[in-house]
Structure 1
Amino acid sequence: MKLLIVEDDADFAAALARAMTKRGAEVALAHDADEARDEGERFAPSHAVVDLKLPGESGLKVVEQLAARSPAPAIVVLTGYASIATAVEAVRLGARHYLAKPANADEILAALMRDQPDAALEVSPEPLSVARLEWEHIQKVLNEHDGNISATARALKMHRRTLQRKLDKRPPKAD
């Protein structure tokens, strides 16, 4: 397995690289979208782990560019800012799976190796909280406006600074 890890947190990227190397992967690292493009060309990965929130361009752009390669690598999006809207968009752009942080190396490896959806995965019996529903709706509208904060704030009829404060916080728990 030739694994490209695209992660802006250098410590987490290094730890994940060590763990994947121990599991037999040849690993290359990139810390932003430009490095990911360059490493994608040079390294020709068979698999990739892409952080959603990167400096500059979104990890979704990286997913789109990697998925356009031939052959396309198996891509897992890993993020601390999980939302249904970004998960759907990541899969639509070519990601195989989408994992919320924290995820350990074994979970990431299992997601990379799965080539079919898993109908046996558990579905939570609890509905989403109101705070989580708000977060999901904001992410959906933000995605519809290509990440433009001002346009999203106008669409939500919300002050731009209020929206920015909400986006700077971690997403509420899904339950």
Structure 2
Amino acid sequence: MPDQDSRQLGPDPSLLLVDDDEPFLKRLARAMEKRGFAVTTAETVAEGQASVRRAPPAYAVVDLRLGDGNGLDVVETIRERREDSKVVVLTGYGAIATAVAAVKIGAVDYLAKPADANQITAALLSSGEDLPPPPENPMSADRVRWEHIQRIFEQCDRNVSETARRLNMHRRTLQRILAKRSPR
């Protein structure tokens, strides 16, 4: 039996999921199918754009950073092909500038990973006038900070000095943070 949210789906339940994290993509696709969506998946910007050109979806969930480029390019293609499509942008970490860019080109919401299927469904099916309910277990501020530091550290090829420079923090302070376990 489909989830309660499937009753709110429009006549076209087509959903495009674009994410380069294959295990996450498969789990999310299964969860969204259980909620009544007709799911198509893509792992790259090129695959996502090709899928949109073949059949513009009524709904889409697009990761911001993909292996071959920026997920906002897929969002723009969706907007060109189908203006009424509801698009949610996902990202590994939130930044105000990218959230603004996503909303400006037509995304209905912007969620930070790890977003679950319930949060994504709520965002896709929201009327736009009311905000979706807050997540049951949001990441703590300490956890968000730690995730951001880890992401920059990985992007700097695990170079502590370069990461500290980019984050504008003292190298020893960064070393202490990196030595600790992740906050909950």
Measured against the shorter chain, the TM-score band is 0.5 to 0.7
Alpha-carbon contact 2:90-2:111 (below 8 Å) kept:
yes
CA contact (8 A) 2:123 2:132 kept: no
Please give the alpha-carbon distance, in whole angstroms, between the structure 1 residues aligned to 2:90 and 2:68: 17
1:56 is aligned to 68
**Structure 1 pair 55–65 and aligned structure 2 pair: CA distance change class (3 A):** same
The CA RMSD measured in Å over matched residues stands at 2.8
How far apart are residue 48 of structure 1 and its match?
0.1
Which residue in the other structure is 1:125 paired with? none
Mapped contact 1:28–1:43 kept (Cα < 8 A): no
Report the equivalent of 1:74: 86
- What stretches of structure 1 of length at least 5 have no aligned partner? 123-127, 136-158, 167-175
Equivalent of residue 127 in structure 2, options 115, 123, 126? 115
C-alpha separation between the residues in 2 aligned to 1:25 and 1:106? 13
1:25 corresponding residue in structure 2: 37
Contact conserved, 2:122 with 2:132, CA < 8 A, in 1? no
Show the counterpart of 1:98.
110
Equivalent AA in structure 1 for residue 48 of structure 2: A
Q: Which amino acid aligns with 1:13?
A: L
Shift of the 118–9 alpha-carbon distance from structure 1 to 2, 3 Å rule, reads same
Secondary structure at 1:17's aligned position in 2?
helix
Which ranges of structure 2 fall in alignment gaps of 5 or more residues? 1-12, 135-140, 149-161, 170-184
User: Which residue does 1:172 correspond to in 2?
Assistant: none
Deviation at 1:57, TM superposition (A): 1.6
- Say which of 88, 99, 103 aligns to 2:100: 88
Take 1:5 and 1:88, find their aligned partners in 2: how far apart are those partners? Answer: 21
**1:32 touches 1:54 (CA, 8 Å); kept in 2?**
yes
**Cα separation, 1, equivalents of 2:132 and 2:40:** 32
Identity %: 44
Q: Tell me the CA shift for residue 108 of structure 1.
A: 0.1
The answer on whether the counterparts of 2:57 and 2:82 sit within 8 Å (CA) in structure 1 is: no
Q: For residue 54 of structure 2, what is the aligned residue in structure 1?
A: 42
Q: Secondary structure at the match of 2:60?
A: strand
Q: Give distance in 2, aligned partners of 1:162 and 1:102.
A: 27
Tell me which of 15, 36, 41 is aligned to 1:3: 15
